[in-house]
Each structure stands twice: as C-alpha cells, then as structure tokens.
Chain A
C-alpha cells in the first residue's frame, strides 16, 4: 500500500484531536502543556505533508518556524510552572482558584 497525503492527514487529525482532548480533560498543567505540544506537532505534519505533495517549500518553512516558537513557548511555560509549584506545591489547575469570584 502506498502511503499518501490522506494517510498523513488522518494521522495529523488524530494527533490534533488527542492533543485537544488532553488539554480539555486533564487537570495537571504539565500534561496540558504536553497536549498543546502534540497539537503543534499535528500542525507540523499537515504543513509538511501538503508542502511535499504540492512541491511548495513554504510549508516546510512554516514547520521550522513552528519548532522555534514551540521551544520558546515551552521555555516560558515551564518557567511559569516552576513558579506556580514554588508557591502552591501543586500544578493541578483545580487548585488554582485565587482568581475566582
């Protein structure tokens, strides 16, 4: 069987749904970040697959940019998580309720 564009898109769609479900259902903010990274990876797959299929390089460029942004986001996100953990001894979002009315 030839692996074509459709297969990549199905894989990407599955990853995207996994990531979205992860963010929406998990309460541990570390896992939520991980799920967001999964969403970003699924986007990379779509871009790379379409780019390869159409021969247009700009999709690949987007993937590279996306790597850089994801790394920056992870760096900032983890810094915030460390700070939260220092203050609260927990990274569970249900424990974070100092801003509720």
Chain B
C-alpha cells in the first residue's frame, strides 16, 4: 500500500549505497555533454565512459563485502550481496565492451555519425542493468527493464544506412515491445490479485494461499514471456539470432551477456521472492525444467546447422540459458551460487568469443565460417585466445567453463533431478560439435591462395587478454570467485 506519510523518501544515505549506478548515469550525461562541448571528438565520451565504468567497477568490488541488505529509494531498490555481484559483472562488461568498440570498424568506421553517443548509450544501459538486478518492486522492475530494452533497440540499429542493422533493430523492437506488453498484463493482474507492488508484499499475499492456482499459472506464464524474452529462453528466443547477426558485433557481444545476466538477476529476485511459497500449490519449477530442456536442445541443435559464426554464437548463448535455468529451478542457495559463478564465467568466455568475431571482422568484413579458414595462422594471438573461449564454452577441463558447468550439474544431481542432468550432459556433447567446427576452420582448413595476415589492433588483443587470462586462471583456481559468489548469496534480501 502506497502511503505518502510513511514513504521512505530518497535521501543522501541512499545515494551512498547507490554509487555505481549514479556513476554510470552520470557518465551517460557527461558523455553526451562532453561530446557536444568537444565538438564531436569521439575520444572524449570514450574516455568519460571508460573512466566511469572503471570507477563503478571499483566501487562494486569494494561493495562485495556487504554486511546486510539495505533497502533504498522508497524501498524500490535493494542493495545486497547479489546486487553487488551483478554490479561488478556489468561494470566489467562495460569496460571490456568500451575498450573493444574503440577499434571496431562497425562502430567507429567511416560513415558512422556521432560516434561518441555510442559510449553514452553503453553507460546508460549498464546503469539500467544494475538497477534491474536490484529492483524489488513491480514499478522498478518495469522501468529498469524498459530502460535497458529501449537503449538496446537504438544500439542494435547503430549502423545507420545498413539494412541488416536497421532490420535487427526493428525486429528486436517489435518482439521486445510485444513481450513486455504481455509481461505488463501479468504484472497488472498480480497487482490485482495481491494488492501489492513490492515483491515482499506479493509474497505475503501469495503465502496466505487465497489465490487461485489457475490464476497463478496465468500470471506466471505472462510474466515469463517478458523475462524469458530478456534472457532469450525458448519459445521467446526468435529475435536472438537475427538481432545478433544484424547488430554491430560489439553490440551483439554486449547483448549476449549484459541484458541476459540482468534478466537472470531479475528472474531470481522475482521468482525466488514471490513464487517460492506457492511451490506446493503449483509446480512452476517443473514448468521451468521443461522449458530449460527445450531451450538447451533447440539452441544446440539449431547451432549445428549454422554457417555464420555470429549465429552459431547466438544459438550457443541460447543453449547456455538452458543450462542456467536447470540450476535456477532448484530453488536452493547452492543453485544460486552456481548460477552466479556460471554467469561470471559465461560473461568472460562469451564476450571473448564475440570480441574475436569483432576483431577479425575489421579486415575480413565477413562472419562466415568459410572465410575463417586458416585464421589460426593469419591472426595467431587472437585465434589462440578464441580457442580458449571455445574450449571453455564447451566446458572441458581445465577451463573456467568446466568448473561453472560442474557446479550447475552438481546441484542438479544433488537434488536428484537425474533426467534433467542427463539431458544437460547430452546437450553439452552436441555443443562440442559446433564449437569444434569453428576451431577446425581456424586451424585445419586451408586459407585461400594469397590470403594475407589479419591484423588485430593491440587494444583489442589487450581487451581479449583481459578475458582470456581469467578464463584460464579460473579453470585451475576457482576458489576466490566461488567464495565471492557464496558470499553474494549469503547476504541476500527476502529469500
């Protein structure tokens, strides 16, 4: 119930807990202004946003040892261990994407106008994702999701004059607007059924057990449409391959990790807080289990047939959502720890794989597997790192992806969902095929006659190394990250 007298109005104490978001939103405004004041020199917004993202990252890392959850901004936003973890993840994603976009022809190439605004948009979206991961109120949930969505429509259509990019943007927009409309209808019914806008109020109303199970099923399905779209869960995944293919590659890289992780964070908050008490009335984990199986199977089987590397990676990212959903429906702390750990590792390796595509795209101007022939010798450093990312995505030891998958499957086995684990393992085997298809093109296929070296700028090699080194290190020494994930789950609000 909204009561003006008791409303916890925003104040300075709140601002102190909200620094990374404020920094990102501030960087957005400063980058836009700086772009104009500096007469459209793109390095000004680039530097501002890079500085902002690094600052946000350091604040987020400092916030990791949070002691107790704090509700701020009129109880709409909660700052707890999970918020801090996701803040760190998003700030890291922003840093790498900003670094990488600087030398990308698709973003900065000739013919692009107002290049500086791209960095401003990244800052805005990063701030939006952070808020998404910490909202505990239907209003904040909707506003933060739309902030991220609207920004991403613009970023997908960044290449003005390119039909593919504009088309990607339109498809993203239509699917996105529709699924958020469906989700909104679900939210409005939840408000009607429970009379509350906050997740905790909804939980309290649902625990009373007065809500009809059929009504619950309806609203859950409606809300899943919106959240499932954000994380690209089957059957709301249709946009993903097209949008990833059409968007500029650094943008696709950003989309495949950032909004997806933010969607997962929101899903965890929403489902774990509101729907956990009604598990025995209505078996929604089983519904998610079925969707998870379909998601990973569709993702993997579709990826096998693709010849465009961006599309392969798009379908593979859908498959990874399936793995993550397996742990999601366990409803345990260990499952959450596994999800956070995997999301971090997934961010590293998936971002890395997309960045490789960006890097070689500058001189190849193609994303087709056939054109990747012999790249291992034409662009040795980048290709070695790509191999690390591919092995890690497959989940073979000693790479970080293996550890991540191990924790996911261990939790599924511990809760005795054996059939789910078996499907997951079989799916991982399928994924080996198409990841190795890329690897084969890189090292075993003969480069065409007269094909020269494919130079990759030092800045991009550096950004890839930022991702490749942790992917390797976490494969042999995962304790610290696991500790961070455990700690994040230990201080979590409302579960």
A76 touching B166 in the complex, CB below 8 Å, given contacts A39-B178, A50-B188, A62-B139? no
Give the total number of A-B pairs whose CB atoms are below 8 A apart.
125
Is B245 an interface residue when CB atoms closer than 8 A count as contact? Answer: yes
Complex Cα distance, B142 from A16, in Å, reads: 18
Residue from A59, A65, A88 having most chain B Cβ neighbours under 10 A = A59
- Kindly identify which residue among B143, B187, B191, B195 contacts A69, using a CB–CB cutoff of 8 Å: B143
Type the 1/0 row for A1-38, where 1 means its CB is closer than 8 Å to any CB of B.
00000000100100010011001000001001100100
B242-A99 in contact (CB<8A)? yes
Complex Cα distance, B2 from A33, in Å, reads: 32
- Kindly identify which residue among B164, B173, B189, B308 contacts A46, using a CB–CB cutoff of 8 Å: B189
B173-A76 in contact (CB<8A)? yes
A80-B195 in contact (CB<8A)? no
Q: Interface size class for chain B? A: 35 or more
A69 touching B170 in the complex, CB below 8 Å, given contacts A50-B192, A62-B138, A98-B163? no
Q: Please, which residue of chain A has its CB at the minimum distance from the CB of B198?
A: A58
Complex Cα distance, B311 from A30, in Å, reads: 28
A46 touching B2 in the complex, CB below 8 Å, given contacts A56-B195, A96-B167? no
Q: Is the interface of B mostly helix, strand, loop or mixed?
A: helix
Is B432 an interface residue when CB atoms closer than 8 A count as contact? Answer: no
B306 CB → nearest A CB, Å:
7
B157-A80 in contact (CB<8A)? yes
B191-A77 in contact (CB<8A)? no
A61 touching B185 in the complex, CB below 8 Å, given contacts A76-B173, A84-B170? no
A39-B171 in contact (CB<8A)? no
A39-B182 in contact (CB<8A)? yes
Is B1 an interface residue when CB atoms closer than 8 A count as contact? Answer: yes
20 pairs across A/B with beta carbons < 8 Å?
A12-B188, A16-B185, A19-B181, A29-B170, A36-B178, A40-B181, A42-B185, A49-B192, A56-B1, A58-B2, A61-B2, A65-B143, A69-B143, A73-B177, A76-B153, A80-B170, A83-B169, A99-B164, A101-B306, A101-B307
> Which 4 A-B pairs have CB atoms at the shortest separation, nearest pair first?
A39-B181, A46-B188, A58-B2, A50-B192
Binding site for B on A (CB under 8 A): 9, 12, 16, 19-20, 23, 29, 32-33, 36, 39-40, 42-43, 46-47, 49-51, 54, 56-59, 61-62, 65-66, 69, 72-73, 76-77, 80-81, 83-84, 87-88, 93, 96, 98-101
